[in-house]
Amino acid sequence: MADENEEQQEQQADGGAKKKKLLLFGGLGAGVIIIIAVVVWLFTGDGYTTAKATDSSNSSNVVEADTSEAPQVGNALYVGMPRPFVFIVPGDARERTVQIKVQLMVRGEDNEELTKRHIPLIEGTLHQVFSSSTAEELKTANGKEKLRELALRELQSALTKVAGKGLVEQVLFTSMVMQ
């Protein structure tokens, strides 16, 4: 009798361990499947959007290529700064630390390459412009817009002196954090 009870307890313990292992592997398997599905969805979504944008820009280039040598609407390219700009600005009660991530919009692959070649000049100019602002200016949408316009003017001026043309059409703030 005692031997039978011990055997039943061992079988129940083995069955419980097997159930735990089965649940663990099942949960891990489901988690992996979910992660794979999300990754595939993200890559598929981005590929579709990029392909669609490329197709529409190519069709507009074909139409406008014969009309003039001015930059076409569909050939905007974006040059990202290699690192965010971090600087300190004066505020009412205390100084504040600001971080701004910037992308530059240029027209054409030639301007993109020239812009990439002049990244140190661009970074220096933008850092000088950004650090001359105040926390009060950066708190308002109007102040941010003025800073963006000032950055564009200064950047085009500096690039014109070095490269012979402004190269950059827009300065875009992709992220701004103030602490």
Phi, psi dihedrals of residue 65, rounded to the nearest 5°: -60, -35
Which residue spans within the chain are E strands per DSSP?
Answer: 76-80, 85-89, 96-107, 168-178
Tell me the DSSP string of 116-130.
Answer: HHTHHHHHHHHHHHH
pLDDT for residue 60 = 42
Q: Are 121 and 159 in contact (CB under 8 A)?
A: yes
The tokens of 153 are what?
Answer: 């003017």
pLDDT for residue 51 = 40
Write the CATH number of the domain with boundaries 73-178.
Answer: 3.30.479.30
pLDDT for residue 22 = 74
Residue where the block lists tokens 């003025």: 146
pLDDT for residue 41 = 65
**How confident is the prediction along the chain (179 residues), in pLDDT tens digits per residue?**
666 666 666 666 666 677 777 777 777 777 778 887 766 666 675 444 434 444 444 444 443 433 344 545 568 999 999 999 999 999 888 899 999 999 999 998 988 999 999 999 999 999 999 999 999 889 999 999 999 999 999 999 999 999 888 889 999 999 999 98
Distance between CA 66 and CA 76 in Å, rounded? 18
